[in-house]
Structure 1
Amino acid sequence: MIKGLYEAHLPVSDLNRSIEFYEGLGLEFDHKVEDRLAFLWIIKDQNWLGLWQTDKVEVEYHPSIRHIAFEVSLEGLKHSVTWLTNKGYTPREAFGFEPSEPFVMPNPNGGFGHAKIHFNDPDGNSLEFICKVSNPADLTERMYLSEWEELSGWSRK
């Protein structure tokens, strides 16, 4: 029945500023509704992000709200800190890892992990770039991506 995630929504305080921010990430603007809601394609005709202008963006952050993870390629993720910084966006600390490079959280069921980097939009909504990575060595500890590649044996040197 379910084939994927079609849309997600975030609260924003300045719709036009947020449209510009998300276009800078590569999302494609589609349309506005009454100057309080905008839709941008994450992947054209597959899934999009709705931005709702509101004065209620100060709701305290919690991972269950105000968070979106964008799937990226491993190569893209490896260059994400530089890519974000060059665009004027600031990667941030997450799960005890400084944003010097992406880090990996192993899946507790084994076989793979999730490599990721976190950052915020102008309203403090939590965003991340993430991709699945193999775990042939059955690593169980969280670590930076460069360490994961070296220890798991799939580093491309």
Structure 2
Amino acid sequence: MIKGLYEAHLPVSNLKRSIEYYKGLGLEFSHSHEDRLAFLWIEKDKSWLGLWETDRVELEYHPSIRHIAFQVTLEGLNNSVTWLTEKGYKPREAFGFEPVEPFVMAHNGIAHAKIHFNDPDGNSLELICKIENPKNITNQMYLSEWEKLNSAENY
């Protein structure tokens, strides 16, 4: 029945500024409604992000209400710190990892590599991709360490 996530929503204090911010990340503007709500395609005709202008953006951050993770390729993720920085976005520390490069969180035979950053209103954003975990590693580490540990010569 369920095949994926179609939409997610975030509160923003300035809709026009936020539209430009997310367009800068590569999202495509779809439409707005009553100058309070805008939709941008994450993946055209498949998933989108709704931005709601409100004066209640100061809600305390919690990932269950103010977090979006965008799926990217591993190649894209490897270049993410430079890509974000060149666009004027600032990667941030997450789970004890400094934003010098993406990091890996692995558990139960699966692993994800990711980097975190915030939008202008403090909403938590993430670039993430699922990666192979052939050695069933359960540690957390920087992506460069992961790639070295899982390189072909280590088999």
TM-score higher than 0.5 = yes
Task: Flag structure 1 segments of 5+ consecutive residues without an equivalent.
Answer: none
Aligned length: 153
Shift of 1:153: 2.3
Corresponding letter in the other structure for 2:128:
I
Q: Is 1:16 aligned to 2:21, yes or no?
A: no
Query: Deviation digits for residues 12-34 of structure 1, max 9, x if unmatched?
Result: 00000000000000000011100
Q: Percent identity?
A: 76
Query: For the residues of structure 2 that align with 1:133 and 1:150, how far apart are their CA atoms?
Result: 14
| Alignment check: 8 A CA contact 2:108 2:138 kept | no
Task: Tell me whether 1:6 sits opposite 2:6 in the alignment.
Answer: yes
Does the 8 Å contact 1:115/1:130 carry over to 2? Answer: yes
Q: Deviations over 1:12-65 (max 9, x none)?
A: 000000000000000000111000000000000000000000000000001111
Q: How do 1:52-67 and structure 2 match up within 5 A? A: 52-67=52-67
Q: What is the SS of the residue equivalent to 1:85?
A: helix
The normalised TM-score by structure 2 is 0.97
Letter in 1 for 2:146: W
Give the 3-state SS of the residue equivalent to 1:81 in structure 2. Answer: helix
Pick the aligned partner of 1:148 from 146, 149, 152: 146
Match of 2:128 in 1: 130
Q: Please list every run of at least 4 consecutive aligned residues from structure 1 whose deviation after the TM superposition is greater than 4 angstroms.
A: none
Q: What is the rounded CA distance, in whole Å, between the counterparts of 1:102 and 1:49 in structure 2?
A: 23
Partner of 1:105: 105
Post-superposition shift, 1:137? Answer: 1.5
In the other structure, the counterpart of 2:41 is 41
Partner Cα separation in structure 1 for residue 6 and residue 149 of structure 2: 36
